[in-house]
Amino acid sequence: MTRTVVCLDGLDPAYLDAVETPALDALAERGREGTCEAAVPTLTNVNNAAITTARPPADHGIPGNTLFDPDIGEREYVRSAEHRQADTWLEEVADGGGDAAAIVVKEKLRDLLFGERVDAASAEEPPARLEAAVGEAPGVYSGEASAWALAAAAHVRETRDPDVLYVSTTDVVPHKHEPGTAAAADWVQALDAGLAALARPGDELVVTADHGMSAKSLCVDLPTVLANAGYDAEVVRCIRDAHTYHHRNLGGAAYVHLDGAGDGALDLLADVEGVDRVLDREAAADRYRLPADRIGDALVLGTEESVFGPIGGDAETAVDGDPEATHATVGLRSHGSAHERTVPYVTTTGAALDSTVDARRAVSGRE
């Protein structure tokens, strides 16, 4: 018997409401279904780490896609197991002599979640044995990459029958297409077909998502807002990573390092159009169970319609507009804020995997 957890990246419940999903429905009939809350910031790194460790960010240590070290003034992408501060349950199984396997789309996630302690593979750097079995891996910026990951996982399950198996897909389609569109429907149906091939009677299975997705129409340039008011601050967009095709590094959460600027900067940010909530370090760590030593002086969360990013100029993935402006119109789908917390889950009747959902509720933080 294989115990399997599948994270369908970016699967907002609205996508399931818009299309028939016979495989997920059949799984729900064997167990239970519903929604639960993702950890904040609502990002792939944060929530895949939460799912695979069954711990909140305060324990697993991953607060976003980028870390900033104020002592040296440098940023680094979070993509290595060395960034994690807790073991995954797959590592614990493997260390105990069990057979643990994982299939993910992006290599950065394989590195972050498993390092060298779990037999894990990615669609981005696929091993020849998997491509020989299920076909050449498509590009990671395609909807087909998710279907490939599920097919590879089904092959591993059939040929190896590991004790535990983890699968994580990619969210390029929901970033580009809203629920109800043909492209979105094709993506969801392909996921459903992949789950049908992966699900085997007698196995324990849980399917969930790492975050939802929202249409964004407003970009807010937080560094310009702070600079205009005379504050020397470093703003780290939580979504920032090397994979910009999906989201252009524009998301609804940011950490602010104020360099002793005081509460005045937080009060200023709280009144900015497009800002939903500003929490100082202590409040953010308490409410969302974040690692206080890795989140700067404040967490800024956007509204359902807003993202944070640079406007104009030559800045990384800047939005078109006046470089001196603090706000600009933008059109994309993204995540990161508290408005993308609600995610679906479906489990079979296995008590061990039902506890995964219960753990998900426990690690998501509290309002």
Angle between helices 182-198 and 144-160 (to 10 degrees): 0
User: How many whole angstroms separate alpha carbon 342 and alpha carbon 39?
Assistant: 10
pLDDT (tens, 9 = 90+) of the chain, 367 residues, equals: 899 999 999 999 999 999 999 999 999 998 999 999 999 999 999 999 999 999 999 999 999 999 888 888 888 888 899 999 999 999 999 999 999 999 999 999 999 999 899 999 999 999 999 999 999 999 999 989 999 999 999 999 999 999 999 999 999 999 999 999 999 999 999 999 999 999 988 889 999 999 999 999 999 999 999 999 999 899 999 999 877 667 788 999 999 999 776 678 999 999 999 999 999 999 999 999 999 999 999 999 999 999 999 998 777 777 888 888 999 999 999 999 999 999 999 998 654 445 555 555 555 554 4
User: How many whole angstroms separate alpha carbon 126 and alpha carbon 68?
Assistant: 31
Q: What's the total number of domains in the chain?
A: 2
The verdict on 205 and 219 lying in the same domain is no
The verdict on 297 and 321 lying in the same domain is yes
- Cβ burial, residue 109 (10 Å; 0-12/13-18/19+): buried
Q: Checking phi first, is residue 317 left (phi over 0); if not, alpha (psi -120 to 50) or beta? A: left
Residue 320 pLDDT: 86
The verdict on 170 and 316 lying in the same domain is no
The verdict on 162 and 281 lying in the same domain is no
CATH number of the domain where residue 100 is located: 3.40.720.10
The verdict on 12 and 141 lying in the same domain is yes
Give CA torsion, residues 253, 258, 262, 266, to 10 deg: -20
CATH number of the domain where residue 272 is located: 3.30.1360.110
CA Rg, the chain, in Å? Answer: 20
Query: DSSP 3-state helix, strand, coil percentages of the chain (rounded to 5)?
Result: 35, 25, 40
Q: pTM for the whole thing?
A: 0.93
Give the HSE-up count for residue 165: Cα atoms under 13 Å, Cβ half-sphere: 29
The verdict on 201 and 348 lying in the same domain is yes
**Whole domain around residue 290: which residue ranges?**
214-334
Residue 363 pLDDT: 54
User: How many whole angstroms separate alpha carbon 52 and alpha carbon 111?
Assistant: 13
Residue 203 pLDDT: 85
The verdict on 194 and 251 lying in the same domain is no
The verdict on 151 and 265 lying in the same domain is no
The verdict on 135 and 52 lying in the same domain is yes
The verdict on 279 and 307 lying in the same domain is yes
Asked if 252 and 243 touch (Cβ cutoff 8 Å), the reply is no
The verdict on 192 and 236 lying in the same domain is no
Look at the alpha carbons of 333, 336, 338, 341 in this order and tell me if their dihedral is positive or negative.
positive
Collapsing DSSP states into helix, strand and coil, what is residue 265? helix
The verdict on 319 and 348 lying in the same domain is no
